[in-house]
Amino acid sequence: MRYDWTVLSNGHVSNAYDTFMRVLTMLIDRIMPIKTKTLRADQVIRAPWFTRGIRTSRAKLDKLHTAYVKRGKDSLAHVKYLRYRNVYNAVKRAARKKYYNDLFNEHQNDAKETWAIINKMIGSEKKQNRPIKQISVNGRVVEDPQEIVENFAEYFANVGASQAETIQSAQAQSTHFEDYMTTHVPCSMYLTPTSVSWLNPHCSGALLTPSILDWILKVLDH
């Protein structure tokens, strides 16, 4: 299809651009019109665990749903639809679980592949690594890439020794629990554990009924 583009040479550049876009859109719509295409069930990309048997069951479920919508919720078609839907969902969950269990067992010794499977399950996209444009070193902003690399190298080369010195200084201090109990509490009370042998002679003359005493002894036995 030919078109006389000389019309663009006449007039202002803004008018020429508007004319160009209008003509281009018209030609695209004429040559490549938008069409709606219905895909067959076997052409639709589905989950790998969505087997042919599940697709067949899905088609039957759709038919039962259509029948129940026509006849109403009080019909037998509604009961059939609900029963079949429950079984269908259970089978679908079991198929998905079995597929991923087999997949994890197959790659149980491959951490990279295992994480790839997990990310695919949760729909997590791989994040792109972004370069570090600047860092702060002792209050000074560093933007030079080479200097940033050198500062990171120096930090990670010495971080082990720095942490070791911190641990040694902590070990040199006393760690006895009494050193942290600097404040004495004079008004305090401590209850020692009570046994049945101690309770019998002390409670024999108290105002306790036999039933209460038996209950106390039973609790202490446990």
Per-residue pLDDT band for 107 (boundaries 50, 70, 90) equals: confident
Burial class (CB in 10 A: 0-12, 13-18, 19+), 81: buried
Per-residue pLDDT of 206-222, as tens digits, reads 555 556 556 666 665 55
Q: Specify whether the CB–CB gap between 93 and 57 falls below 8 A.
A: no
Per-residue pLDDT band for 17 (boundaries 50, 70, 90) equals: confident
Determine the Cα–Cα distance for residues 158 and 136; give it in Å rounded to an integer: 17
pTM score, whole prediction: 0.39
Per-residue pLDDT of 164-209, as tens digits, reads 776 655 555 656 666 666 666 666 666 667 666 666 666 555 555 5
For the chain, the structural domain boundaries read 1-35, 42-122, 135-170
End-to-end C-alpha distance for the chain, whole angstroms: 98
Q: Give the residue, 105 or 2, on which the prediction is more confident.
A: 105
Give residue 89's pLDDT: 92
Give residue 167's pLDDT: 63
Q: What average pLDDT does the segment 113-140 reach?
A: 78
pLDDT of residue 1 exceeding 80: no
Determine the Cα–Cα distance for residues 39 and 3; give it in Å rounded to an integer: 36
Determine the Cα–Cα distance for residues 93 and 99; give it in Å rounded to an integer: 10
